[in-house]
Amino acid sequence: MSVSGFLPASKADMQARGIAQLDFVYIIGDAYVDHPSFGHAVISRVLEAHGYTVGILAQPDWKDGTSILEFGEPRLAFLVTAGNMDSMVKHYSVSKKRRSTDAYSPGGVMGKRPDYATVVYCNLIRRTYKKTPIVIGGIEASLRRLGHYDYWSDKVKRSILLDSGADLISYGMGERSIVEIADALASGIAVRDITFVPGTVFKTKDLELASYDALELPAFEQIRSDKAAYARSFLIQYQNTDPFNGKRLYEAYGNGRYVVQNPAAKPLSEMEMDDIYGLAYMRTFHPSYQKYGGVPAISEVRFGLVSSRGCFGGCSFCALTFHQGRIVQSRSHASILAEAKKLIKEPDFKGYIHDVGGPTANFRHPACEKQLTQGACKGRQCLFPSPCRHLVADHHDYRELLRKLRGLEGVKKVFIRSGIRYDYLIYDKDRQFLRELCEHHVSGQLKIAPEHISDTVLQKMGKPSAEVYRQFGKVYQRMNQELGKKQYLVPYLMSSHPGSTLKEAIELAEFLRDMGYAPQQVQDFYPTPSTISTCMYYTGLDPRTMQPVYTANNPHEKAMQRALIQYRNPKNESLVREALIKAGRTDLIGDGPKCLIRPKKGPKSSRTRIQPGRKIDKKPHKRPGKKTGSQTIKEGSRKRKHERISNRSKRSRPTF
């Protein structure tokens, strides 16, 4: 029997709806969650809104070739995505150890999808359906659309279009391109002739088609053997991600084959964003997963609101430039308020909206007026190394939106979990948003992401200088004092980012010492596909300058850098000691207030030597009413231990 409201998730669902053949079969690596925070839900609902039928084949058994045949052959194409995350990031930690749970699978069970899921699913399809069009999308396909460094295999891989055997990639967010592809296929255009859709990547053997009005990238064989060529190729790609000024790119492979990337799709208007987020989502996981306890990932987004997409922050380690782009697109207040009212009516809603934001919560409009007509600048960032003179730093719209949400009946508090870009916040001279943020949207701690404190590393990260963080800390502390609140900053920190040696790691440890903050979690740099930082990690070059960059890629050195950030953890003492000795900073080993760790304890004192023929009592004589020496030592030891624990607890919170 068909499950009311959800798209067909089985042959029975399809038949119950009276559908003889689906237009699209959508194979996904995640469980089926019909919520606008899940890419497969958005794409399938957009297609449905344009009159196409879509069946969702979630997490088919890749070990069983027949699992892919559930719905039969679609009329127009198979759509394939690995899910909301790259399957390798989902499966492995930065140390390449297998993770134990998968929040995007029923019950959080690991192993429901294969490694390199997009490639595996497409190869399964091709075993049976040799010529049926396959369109791949999602973040895995989007970030691997051209030759790319793959951290898990430690080699440069071909475009995923070639390894998967698919016909097209719909990269980026995909709502525009998927409808154009669907309309072209429905009109009878062969998939090999769909070479004109913005936001797509295709393959061809026609050099004229590949090179028309396009920039040539270094050939794949060249980037695979020459790291400098790889860095040059990456920079060209990075500078051509914009929908307004980006050029078509092509990459040559052997046997006369070319992979061609069309410019990105144009950003969505406010009305288009409203239409997409106003579609008939069920806002939860498919009922078939109830017996497994549901899908854990929904808990993070169920009572949150997406207000925008895109980010002009330009962090080097972030793939948003390649996937969502630098131009911010937003929904209207009316659209967001309408969704909030739906949340309030849900039986499990307790009065708390968990988030209102996007990649960066306080970005609600493009960085400057020209971006919507001329695009983002190729030669510079909006915030780094200093704010552009054309930057519009204004929180008025976001502040008004939050006020309206706070005023809804049934809402107790509105949180902001997406992350606040603190440098952008202080560039806004009007402090009213900061005041309301501290007064209404912070609950004891505000989490922000300075990532590091060494300007050498921050420059490679594309982050503002350490002085900007210190300035924000003072402004934030002063505002909370005015409000009579005791609220703290909790900084997210990253270890082993390209540019960080032990010297910079120690600099960060000293900052944390002076700040009185002991971070419980540290993110070790993770080289995911298609970021500037990953390019630096692989090539040892900054593609923006082609200057050498130090990279810690030895696991032991990475462990030392991570341990330095958490130097207060007794488990890290030996690594911290080794790092300090290796860096020539033994001045930080000692009992002084500026030291990170105490001196290494020497061997226990040997017993007093007894001269031959002399007798000594084995038990000390205990005088009435007085403590023995051993008792005094033990009590003194307990007292000092208590004082150390007390002092440590006092230092556990940051000073601002």
pLDDT tens readout for residues 613-625:
333 344 444 444 4
The contacts found for 544-550 with CB under 8 angstroms, 24 or more apart, are 544/235, 546/228, 546/231, 546/232, 549/460, 549/498, 549/499, 550/498, 550/499, 550/500, 550/501
CA distance between the termini of the chain: 58
pLDDT of 612 over the 50 cut = no
Does the pTM surpass 0.85? The reply is yes
Amino acid, res. 615:
K
pLDDT of residue 622: 44
pLDDT of residue 623: 42
pLDDT of 207-266, one tens digit each?
888 778 899 999 999 999 999 999 999 999 999 999 999 999 999 998 899 999 999 999
- In angstroms, the CA 133 to CA 131 distance is 6
Tokens 């002085």 appear where? 467
- In angstroms, the CA 333 to CA 397 distance is 9
Q: How many CA atoms lie within 13 A of 318 on its CB side?
A: 18
- In angstroms, the CA 294 to CA 287 distance is 8
Q: Would you call the peptide bond into 385 cis, given omega within 30 degrees of 0 as the criterion?
A: yes
In DSSP terms, 57 is beta-bridged to 27
Query: What sign results for the dihedral spanned by CA atoms 354, 356, 362, 363?
Result: positive
CA-based nearest residue to 494, from 562, 425, 595 = 562
Widest distance between CA atoms in the chain: 110
SS3 113: coil
pLDDT of residue 208: 86
Is residue 327 packed enough to be buried (19+ CB in 10 Å), middle (13-18) or exposed (0-12)?
buried
- In angstroms, the CA 231 to CA 156 distance is 12
Number of other residues whose CB lies within 10 A of the CB of residue 209 = 15
Helix pair 555-565, 502-515: axis angle to 10 deg: 20
Least confident span in 22-36, 339-353, 512-526: 512-526
- In angstroms, the CA 73 to CA 96 distance is 37
Amino acid, res. 507:
E
pLDDT of 328-372, one tens digit each?
999 999 999 999 999 999 999 999 999 999 999 999 999 999 998
